Structure 1
Amino acid sequence: MNVIIEKFNKEDINSIEYIWNEVIDEGESFFWTEHFSNSKVSEILVNQKAVYCVKYNGQVVGFYILHDNFPSRGNHIANALYAITKEFRGKGIGKMLGEHSIRTAKECGYKAMQFNSVVSTNIASVHLWESLRFNRVGQVKNAFTRNNNEIVDIYIYFKAFF
């Protein structure tokens, strides 16, 4: 598979908007229920430490955004959001993005990464973060409502770099 990861450029915005909204519609991992407009996605991307896209034959099929998990005294811990278009899941792209984001977080000076809301029924994400040696440090009961109205837990994952 001819897959590369490269920094976001403005020509990628429509693909990112499409993928982001596709994940929202699935209702299995993002808390949002309403679609994001192109301008809203652009506004979010401007405020990130890093934005990278994974491309297959030049087409954006996934992305991640990297930012501080906490403000001020907690800004040494990174947080990130990841999304891959449905047809490219299960092909190792999530792992590529995860590994890349860890390297990028370290390059940005972060001392750790934390994910505050990995949905417990999102088995692919749970498996991915555990395979990348993130520790499950917390669980919030009944914190997420799936599209089918089932209420499930979310997990908090943490990985120290020091």
Structure 2
Amino acid sequence: MTIRPYNEKDLPAMIAIWNEVVEEGNAFPQEETLTEESGRDFFASQSLSTVAEENGRILGLYILHPNNVGRCGHIANASYAVSSESRGRHIGEMLVKDCLFQAKKCGFGLLQFNAVVESNVHARHLYQRLGFVQLGTIPRGFRMKDGHFENICPYYHEL
């Protein structure tokens, strides 16, 4: 498997994977799916958009960008998406590890996740195993697809 910056031909698969996670409604805050046009603009606007590719097939991706501006611009934020058919193969772990390396290379000093859903135990265990620190819990910070609210857990990792 190769982890590399995306190119134009990757966009249909990236949009499909991103939209799959959005439609699941239990991890990303976005409610609107990407179109071909909005997806092109979205992935191009990131500091880095990266894909995991195997045998010419895109299995997952991540986006990396500043979490804020100005005096907080040294803090990065990232989102990860793995296609449902590729989950369970540690692709997410490889993406997070690559992201930590790339974020430091881009000049960021910290990587922060603002809204990890508390019930997303696989992601939370991965982040803890990789040295992320949980900052606390925000009660009822995430509205799930079915309308109920769950806690979110912010995390950070020094680079």
**What is the TM-score with the length of structure 1 in the denominator?**
0.94
> How far has the Cα of 1:34 moved from its partner?
2.3
- 2:14 is matched with which residue? 16
Task: Work out the CA distance in 1 between the residues paired with 2:89 and 2:23.
Answer: 21
- 1:143 is matched with which residue? 141
Backbone CA RMSD of aligned residues: 1.0
Task: Work out the CA distance in 2 between the residues paired with 1:145 and 1:49.
Answer: 27
Q: Deviations over 1:67-97 (max 9, x none)?
A: 0011111111111111000011111101100
**Residue pairs, 1:5-154, within 5 angstroms:** 5-154=3-152
Task: Work out the CA distance in 1 between the residues paired with 2:70 and 2:37.
Answer: 27
Aligned residues: 159
The letter for the 2-side match of 1:97 is L
Runs of 4+ in structure 1 off by over 4 angstroms are none
- SS of 2:136's partner is strand
Task: Work out the CA distance in 2 between the residues paired with 1:116 and 1:97.
Answer: 18
Q: Deviations over 1:22-69 (max 9, x none)?
A: 001111101222211111111111221111100121101100011001
Unaligned runs of 5+ in 2: none
- SS of 1:6's partner is strand
Unaligned runs of 5+ in 1: none
**What is the TM-score with the length of structure 2 in the denominator?**
0.96
